[in-house]
């Protein structure tokens, strides 16, 4: 009975959302009423496993993770939530000069066992995106009790769907189920609804965006190596994937320039300091320059890349 009522309500939501999906023309209309807010420098990092490099690019070793947190702390980065970013992007309270949102996907147990103590050691908070249907299933995944503990320690828990299906391959009903049911389950288990949604597999389309908005999420995150956020893209906030193969220089380059090499804060004192702190860094990983195309096709050292090829 309950299942049927939930399903019917979900269908009603899908119908109401499907008739109001934002089209290209509609997206331009609200700009007259919306406050004009400049693009915001607010990098969001995405991690999966912290542990032995058995999961390929998805595993960052504890030593590397500690090195990255240490560097972020030394550079003056301070943790913010994605709610903070969404608010600031719309003209709300400003973020600290060097904000950083650290996120983890899928709810793996090593995030609790290994990442959590390191986050505490270096003074950072993080957002954990969990797959509601996976929580507590087997030794490699976190339990609801552990997620409640994370929240009690000041971290945030977001939704990463019910089954981890790719939105682009699902029907409207299934996308609605993934977005809404995961929110309901997390809300019931943790005593409050998650406010941020992370699209599984980086699979995103207009339906998923509209459903995330309609379901009550404040914002949603995509995967894109760019530190600049915009109010018009609250349901596609960019996240920088931190791969196990990345050097500290790679991470720094994403935080400074993003994949397009566009400097987020032109020549500010902290940027100059950051740049000077990596003299002679090796070329970015990848055969032709950057792992996501930053300075693609050029073999310049990192410092020259940043200085010399912003439109590569
Ligand atoms: Zn995932």
pLDDT tens-place string over residues 134-158:
999 999 999 999 999 999 999 999 9
Query: Given pLDDT bands bounded at 50, 70 and 90, which one contains residue 266?
Result: very low
pLDDT computed for residue 272 by the predictor: 54
Residue 247 has pLDDT above 50, yes or no: yes
Q: How far is the CA of 272 from the centre of ligand 1 (A)?
A: 35
Look at residue 246 and give its three-state secondary structure. Answer: coil
Find the radius of gyration of the CA atoms of the chain: 20
**87-102: average pLDDT:** 93
pLDDT at site 251? 84
Residue among 243, 236, 278 nearest 257 (CA): 278
The yes-or-no verdict on residue 5 having pLDDT over 50 is no
Domain with CATH 3.20.20.370 in the chain: 36-241
Average pLDDT over residues 205-225: 92
Q: Give me ligand 1 centre to Cα 58, in Å.
A: 10
Q: Choose among 172, 127, 175, 174: nearest CA to 153.
A: 127
Q: Look at residue 91 and tell me whether its pLDDT is greater than 70.
A: yes
What's the CATH code, domain 36-241?
Answer: 3.20.20.370
Separation of CA 160 and ligand 1 centre (Å): 7
Q: Which helix (H) or strand (E) holds 79?
A: strand 78-79
Q: How many angstroms separate the alpha carbon of residue 307 from the centre of ligand 1?
A: 35
Out of 46-55, 111-120, 258-267, the most confident range is 111-120
pLDDT: is 109 or 36 the higher one? Answer: 109
Separation of CA 106 and ligand 1 centre (Å): 5
- Å from CA of 297 to ligand 1 middle: 30
Spacing, Cα 48 to ligand 1 middle (Å):
8
Question: Separation of 201 CA from ligand 1 center, angstroms?
Answer: 6
Residues 6+ apart with CB under 8 A from 197: 158, 159, 160, 161, 179, 182, 183, 212, 215, 217, 219, 220, 221
Cα(105) to centroid(ligand 1), Å: 5
Confidence label for 269 from pLDDT (cuts 50, 70 and 90):
low
287 CA to centre of ligand 1 in angstroms: 27
CA of 119 to the centre of ligand 1 (A): 21
Report CA(110)–ligand 1 centroid distance (Å): 15
pLDDT number for residue 81: 98
What is the pLDDT confidence band of residue 261, given thresholds at 50, 70 and 90?
very low
CA distance 219 to 245: 29
Give the pLDDT of residue 140: 93
pLDDT tens-place string over residues 170-188? 888 999 999 999 999 999 9
Å from CA of 199 to ligand 1 middle? 8
């Amino acid at each position: 009975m309950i299942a049927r009522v939930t399903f019917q309500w979900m269908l009603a939501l899908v119908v109401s959302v499907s008739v109001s999906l934002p089209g290209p023309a509609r997206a331009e209309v609200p700009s007259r009423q919306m406050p004009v807010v400049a693009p915001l420098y607010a990098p969001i990092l995405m991690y999966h496993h912290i542990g032995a490099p058995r999961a390929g690019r998805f595993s960052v070793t504890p030593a590397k993770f500690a090195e990255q947190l240490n560097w972020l702390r030394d550079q003056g980065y301070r943790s913010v939530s994605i709610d903070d970013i969404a608010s600031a992007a719309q003209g709300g309270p400003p973020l600290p000069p060097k904000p950083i949102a650290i996120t983890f996907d899928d709810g793996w147990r090593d995030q609790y066992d290994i990442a959590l103590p390191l986050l505490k050691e270096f003074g950072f908070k993080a957002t954990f995106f969990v797959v509601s249907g996976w929580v507590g299933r087997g030794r490699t995944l976190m339990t609801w009790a552990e997620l409640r503990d994370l929240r009690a320690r000041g971290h945030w828990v977001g939704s990463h769907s019910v089954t981890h299906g790719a939105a682009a391959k699902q029907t409207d009903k299934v996308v609605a189920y993934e977005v809404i049911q995961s929110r309901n389950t997390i809300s019931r288990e943790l005593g409050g609804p998650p406010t941020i949604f992370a699209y599984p597999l980086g699979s995103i389309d207009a339906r998923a965006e509209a459903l995330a908005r309609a379901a009550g999420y404040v914002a949603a995150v995509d995967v894109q190596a760019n530190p600049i956020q915009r109010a018009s893209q609250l349901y596609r906030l960019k996240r920088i994937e931190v791969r196990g193969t990345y050097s500290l220089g790679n991470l720094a380059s994403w935080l400074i320039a993003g994949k397009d090499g566009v400097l987020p804060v032109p020549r500010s004192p902290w940027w100059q300091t950051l740049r000077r702190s990596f003299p002679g860094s090796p070329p970015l990983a990848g055969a032709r320059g950057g792992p996501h195309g930053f300075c693609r096709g050029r073999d310049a050292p990192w410092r020259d890349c940043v200085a010399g090829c912003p439109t590569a």
